[in-house]
Amino acid sequence: MKPEPGSPSFPDRPGRPDVIVVGGGIGGLGTAFALARQGLRVRVLERAREFGEVGAGLQLAPNCTRILAEYGLLDEAKSLGVLPRNMVMRDALDSRELTRLDLGDLERRYGFPYMVIHRSDLHGIFLHACERAGVELLTDRAVAGYENTGGGARVRLADGRVDEAPLIVAADGLHSVARRELVGDGVVSSDYVAYRAAVPIGEVRGNGVAERDVTVYVGPRCHFVQYALRGGDMFNQVAVFQSPKALAGEADWGTPDELDAAFEGTCDTVRKGIPLMWRDRWWQMLDRDPVDTWVHGRVALLGDAAHPPLQYMAQGAIMAIEDGWVLARHYARQVAAAPAGVAPDWDAVLAAYQAVRVEHCRRVQVTARAWGELWHLDGTPRLQRNALLRARDIGDHSFTDWVYGPTALTPDELPPMFTPIPLSSAAVEDSGDVPPRQAGSDAAEGSRG
């Protein structure tokens, strides 16, 4: 459908695209590439003046590296990232090991590796893949509104121009314009904030770091993550803590003075890492409540626009990549089923996409919230958590099978969830190293044990 008379249109477009993707982050580019592989003409509209990503490290579990392998991109990702040996969880106060995953064993179980990579490197992989696939990549295009039309949907840009296609994918992030227009809910603050840093490996040698592992130190109202990047030449650190200013309702929260105070009582390795954190920027940890409807006519929400999680399961970017893969696979199925010369049914594609992705992503969002509460326990609940984690069999994959296995294409392919282990089932003696406090253990009992 052409723009209405008098509506400005793009003077620089070579022709009407089959799909417009709004947002040039990892989710948007991953989706654009997935759809372009199916022979579709895809246009990406990015609000910034150039494509890029801000941040540091990403963890890519087997449910993501499986897709990268299918795309022919895994070897390139491996060349830029690191394949760690273990994922180790330690107590942030005394540094004692609580549990671990053997990541070599994980690869044998799921068929694909667990890797870590710089966010900008993964973004660059998808950007170059889109260029090779002929995706039209446009910058400085801020989308201000969405509208369904008779034959698809239309976007209105901030400068008044419009563009349209049979399908529009809104991959415009946590603060999505499409989410605001079509759902109307708000972000939810966890009152936690994240600081990040990626530094040359030489700056952390001598701090007691494990260069070949992903290490997570969990502590009262804080945690600290460490792992190597870029072939081991860089070291990534993430410091997360609950902000007293946020709890007090102050607008300026998560500031560097709070960072220092939050980690004062932690072990040596953590405390030595805190001075290396970037102090000119920090990320408030926000998500949204799960919603059941991502498809509104021919506008489909994707990635953080549809299901922004808290970061505790390291699945945010992965879910966005999975979204694009599922959407493209259902399009391919429709192409195969359509009679010769008949256009695939986009409404059927979108219905199938929503039918399977909503439930999986709801599970991840809810589990991530509970996982965060479990990590940050204090007092007796902390001791109970530690006892349960130490008792875990290192070969037990019951808490990873539901998320690291093959990405489901239909609801019947969704694997069963894990069985929660109540904190109250752990018998511990109060060691007295931390004064017992009342902590919200109910949500933790519903998390990954």
Model confidence at 344, pLDDT cuts 50, 70, 90, reads confident
- Catalytic residue list contains 217: no
Average pLDDT over residues 291-297: 98
DSSP code of residue 3: P
Q: Is the pLDDT of residue 167 over 70?
A: yes
Q: Is the pLDDT of residue 443 over 80?
A: no
Tokens of 390: 């130490």
Q: Encode pLDDT of 218-257 as tens digits.
A: 999 999 999 999 999 999 999 999 999 999 999 999 999 9
pLDDT on residue 435: 39
* CA distance linking residue 302 with residue 129, whole number of Å: 19
- 């910058």: which residue's tokens? 139
Tokens of 89: 């969880």
pLDDT on residue 434: 43
Between 338 and 163, whose confidence is greater?
163
120-129, 177-186, 391-400: which range is least confident on average?
Answer: 391-400
Active-site residue identified among 71, 146, 227, 353:
227
pLDDT on residue 432: 45
Average pLDDT over residues 383-387: 97
pLDDT on residue 446: 34
pLDDT on residue 14: 56
Q: Encode pLDDT of 300-328 as tens digits.
A: 999 999 999 999 999 999 999 999 999 99
- Name the amino acid, one letter, at 29: L
Average pLDDT over residues 126-141: 98
Q: Encode pLDDT of 364-378 as tens digits.
A: 999 999 999 999 999
* CA distance linking residue 196 with residue 90, whole number of Å: 19
* CA distance linking residue 432 with residue 436, whole number of Å: 8
- Name the amino acid, one letter, at 417: M
Average pLDDT over residues 249-274: 97
Average pLDDT over residues 172-200: 97
Average pLDDT over residues 81-103: 98
Side-chain-side CA neighbours of 201 within 13 Å: the count stands at 12
Measured between alpha carbons, how far apart are the two ends of the chain, in Å? 53
Q: Encode pLDDT of 41-74 as tens digits.
A: 999 999 999 998 887 899 999 999 999 999 999 9
Q: Is the pLDDT of residue 175 over 70?
A: yes
Average pLDDT over residues 102-131: 98
pTM of the predicted protein model: 0.92
pLDDT on residue 13: 41
Model confidence at 429, pLDDT cuts 50, 70, 90, reads low
- Name the amino acid, one letter, at 56: A
Contacts of 281 (CB under 8 A, 6+ apart): none
**Mean pLDDT score of the chain, rounded to an integer?**
92
Q: Is the pLDDT of residue 347 over 60?
A: yes
Tokens of 179: 């989410």
- What string of DSSP letters covers 286-315? EE----S--EETTEEE-GGGT-PPPGGGS-
The phi, psi pair for 220, rounded to 5°, reads: -60, 115
